[in-house]
Structure 1
Amino acid sequence: MRREITGFSNPLVKQVRSLREKKHRKREGLFLAEGLRIMTEAREAGFLPEMLFRCADRDAHSLEIVLEGEVLTAGGDVIETSADILSKLSGKDNAQTVIGVYHEHPTALSDIDRNAAPIWLVAQAMRDPGNLGTMLRTGDAVGAGGLILIDDCT
């Protein structure tokens, strides 16, 4: 369903904003992803957001139009809102123009085919998102099968 949110006091804005905190993410089984690039990569891997928030104050990028169509087809919500509300949802000074709310899809270690790739990266209790990005890029460069995160990670 497509809709518009114009007020900061909207209950959905409050609920999504709460996902910035770990306790709310764990309770809801949801998390936020910000930015068209990461959301396009998630879509290509078969993961669509339950809710897609987009900036109504600008024209949509062609990849965003594709993402919106697939979210709507899958029964998700596309919510148009202002850059100020997106910034409030994000908590960042320079918020992205699209934010997605995704269901967690945990994978048990026993579900991973360790023979699918010669190299696997493992990180335990990683706190810095920049380090996570570095590990992902490194894994991609060496042909790793994936990055396994153990314990609470960023």
Structure 2
Amino acid sequence: MFAESLAVITATVVGVMVGVEFCVSVFVSPILLRLPAQQSLTASPIFARVLGRVMPFWYFGSLILTAGVAVVAWGEPAAGPAVVAAALLVVSVVVSLTLLVPINNRAMAWTPDDHPADWRDQQRRWLAIHYARVAIIVAAFVCVVVAVLLV
């Protein structure tokens, strides 16, 4: 019963995280990039601050839960997909910390009156890397779902 409950909680947490990140990549960030500079430079730091505070806990929480499923299911068919999902989540955390967080940290300080000349290019670079991260976490989510079905 514990393994099944952990699997369902894990799938829910990872699935909602993937949904949020998908929404950011497909809707929020492209809309912010299309706004005039004044509006974009006002709104973007707000998103950067809010998501910058929440997402680390969500990513690490998803990783811990997924690793927990792998441990609980060790020796069973569900362990394989859970281990792959955990490995993909590790990759997503590394991508986040090394590539996305530095850009995000800079973006949090930007204002309409004080921003670098290449701010849109930096935002586009962030979005391109974010697309890759979303692909990684979608693959992780699929593996989590497979593990849940095998628990």
**Which protein has the bigger strand share?**
1
TM-score, length-normalised on structure 1?
Answer: 0.28
Bigger helix share: 2
The higher relative CO (CA closer than 8 Å, separation ≥ 6) is in 2
